[in-house]
Amino acid sequence: MSTTVTELDKVKTGRWNGGRSPFNVEYGKIMMWFFLTSDAFTFSAFLIYYGSQRFAHMTWPDPDKLFQSIPFVADYGYPLVFVGIMTFILIMSSVTMVLAVEAGHRMAKKEVVGWMIATIIGGLMFIGCQALEWTHLNHAGFWWGSIPSQEGVSPEVTLAPYFSKEISEVSALQFANLFFTITGFHGFHVSIGILLNIIVLGMTLANVFERRGSYLMVEKVGLYWHFVDLVWVFVFTFFYLV
């Protein structure tokens, strides 16, 4: 018997030649990524519709004038400060989440618990801030299908404080609908994220991952949590800055 291996019998060692995981990512994590991709499409569709509405109207409410309050501090005169605080909270909670994942790689249960609790607190603070923001806009008269109005007063007058250029009822109405829909959908995602974080925190405390030998589940909810932060980066830009 010859010991030379023919070209055909040679064992192939390429990434896609079998015998190993080509992506080198655990199944659940791949599925989380694919779910997030599809979710990104949903958010993209929302934000692109918002963009196309802005392009379709010759005037639009000025975020600089709409968002001027800091709850419990000032009702008027501080544009974008409160949303800045919200953005900071969310970025911060994203950092504590990566730190939890990093601690998970070292199997350091105590640190995972600490960082997860910090992340959950950050999420709750963000949701709280968003509730205040909604309440403020709602008191001003904005809601789904409604804009500030007064009996017998022209919209030209009631809407004037929110516009820098021409004033339009339709623009204001579209803005109100899209603002509450998109930030609402994002807030819904944050709420789900907090819930998932609490579940994973409970599992960590119950030593589930310790026994399993890996903190992969922390990574998976971490992916979701970063996605929520990522969406906020875009919502923030298109609703508050542009």
Partner 1 sequence: MASQHLDQTVEHTEGQHQEGMTKGKIWRVFFYLLALTALEFFIALVLVHGGVIEKTMAVNVVYIVLTLLKAYYIIAYFMHLKFETFGFIMSVAIAFVLIIYFIVLMLTEGGYLNTHYNPFPHWDNPQ
Site for partner 1 in 86-105 (CB under 8 A): 87-88, 91-92, 94-95, 97-99, 101-102, 105
Nearest C-alpha neighbor of 84 from the set 60, 97, 68, 98: 68
> Minimum distance from CB of 105 to partner 1 (Å)?
5
Contact 61, 50 (CB under 8 A): no
- Rule CB under 8 A: is residue 216 a binding residue for partner 1? yes
> Minimum distance from CB of 134 to partner 1 (Å)?
21
- Rule CB under 8 A: is residue 27 a binding residue for partner 1? yes
> Minimum distance from CB of 147 to partner 1 (Å)?
13
For partner 1, which stretch binds (CB under 8 A), given 128-136, 140-148, 185-193, 214-222? Answer: 214-222
- Spatial distance between the Cα atoms of 185 and 36, rounded to a whole number of angstroms: 14
Residues 161-200, mask of contacts with partner 1 (x by CB under 8 A) = --xxxxxxxxx-----------------------------
The count of residues in the chain is 242
Our CB check for partner 1 shows the closer of 139 and 197 to be 197
> Minimum distance from CB of 193 to partner 1 (Å)?
14
Our CB check for partner 1 shows the closer of 138 and 207 to be 207
Residues 29-48, mask of contacts with partner 1 (x by CB under 8 A) = -x--xx--x--xx--xx--x
- Rule CB under 8 A: is residue 74 a binding residue for partner 1? no
Contact 120, 225 (CB under 8 A): no
- Spatial distance between the Cα atoms of 93 and 87, rounded to a whole number of angstroms: 10
> Minimum distance from CB of 127 to partner 1 (Å)?
20
Contact 201, 109 (CB under 8 A): no
Residue given tokens 């900071």 in the structure block: 88
| Angle (CA) 242 189 215, round 5° | 120
Contact 221, 196 (CB under 8 A): yes
Our CB check for partner 1 shows the closer of 82 and 180 to be 82
- Rule CB under 8 A: is residue 21 a binding residue for partner 1? yes
- Rule CB under 8 A: is residue 210 a binding residue for partner 1? no
> Minimum distance from CB of 166 to partner 1 (Å)?
5
Q: What is the 3-state secondary structure (H, E, C) of 45-104?
A: HHHHHHHHHHHHCCCCCCHHHHCCCECCCECCCCCCHHHHHHHHHHHHHHHHHHHHHHHH
